[in-house]
Amino acid sequence: MKIGLGSYAYRWSIGIKDQVPSEPLNAFDLLDRAEALGLKVVQYADNMPLDRYSEADHHRLYEVAQEKGLTLELGTQCFDAEEVDRYLEIGQRLHSKIMRVALDEADGHISVADLAEQLRPRVDKARAAGMKIAIENHFNYPSPRMVELLDTVNDDHLGVCLDVANSICANEWPEETISMLAPYTINLHLKDYEITPDPYGVGFRIHGVPLGQGRAPIEWTLDQLKHCPADMSVILEHWLMLDENGLEAAIAKEQPWIEQTTAAAKDFLKGR
């Protein structure tokens, strides 16, 4: 498996919603970070939308990635047919093999039959371009519905971008999600989390930690994916939360977290 850097590993350094640093990281900066970490892939997610870059930028990204020995992947948030078409074109410029699409609650209001009908021509375009579309299990799109969608389309160029923790929000424990989606997985998002009881006994909090320091069943998850291609990309992310110390403090933690996560991922994947 090829270990890669996801743009959400630098959520705060890139900026999101109302939290934007004075000098945000750009798409080229992520190539430098991935190279320094000794990684092989960069996956640009919706927090770094590549449709804001020019066609010339896309070609230059690919050239720089080639110089650094990196392959590129890209992705969008929520299903929009026109945006998927636009990103398939960008993916061709990047020579990407994976385009990730994260489905969420709004997509759950589209019938499986209608979503499958919209996906089929996009999957055909992806195949012609040498790409596969990987649907990510996101916060509020239940895995049984995703399985129904994948079975309805029934195409080997449509699969799952499996996130090991997202579906907790959809009332699924990770082992349940992973068991359902592992047979369809063509891309993996690896992160870790901890569950901390409230000091006053009022429930608990699910929050991110560097890989290997929490409750995510990493070894078990990798065992469920033994059938996947040997060159499947494993994209590293984390849930480093913004706290009372503010944006700059969160940014200062991101690099140590991704360094720890990268070291742990290399240990977990050694020999696999």
What's the pLDDT score for residue 10?
98
- For 7-43, the pLDDT digits (tens) are 999 999 999 999 999 999 999 999 999 999 999 999 9
* Separation CA 179–CA 67 (nearest Å): 38
> Is the pLDDT score of 224 beyond 90?
yes
The rounded mean pLDDT for the chain is 95
What's the pLDDT score for residue 155?
97
232 closest CA partner among 138, 78, 34, 98 = 98
Range of the domain at 66: 2-269
* Separation CA 52–CA 37 (nearest Å): 26
pTM: 0.96
Q: How many domains does the chain have?
A: 1
pLDDT confidence of 139, banded at 50, 70, 90? confident
pLDDT confidence of 197, banded at 50, 70, 90? very high
pLDDT confidence of 272, banded at 50, 70, 90? confident
What's the pLDDT score for residue 213?
97
CATH of residue 175: 3.20.20.150
Tell me the angle at which helices 247-269 and 27-37 cross, rounded to the nearest 10 degrees: 50
Q: Which of 58-67, 75-84, 212-221, 231-240 has the lowest mean pLDDT?
A: 75-84
pLDDT confidence of 168, banded at 50, 70, 90? confident
Tell me the angle at which helices 55-68 and 27-37 cross, rounded to the nearest 10 degrees: 10
- For 84-121, the pLDDT digits (tens) are 999 999 999 999 999 999 987 788 788 999 999 999 99
What's the pLDDT score for residue 103?
85
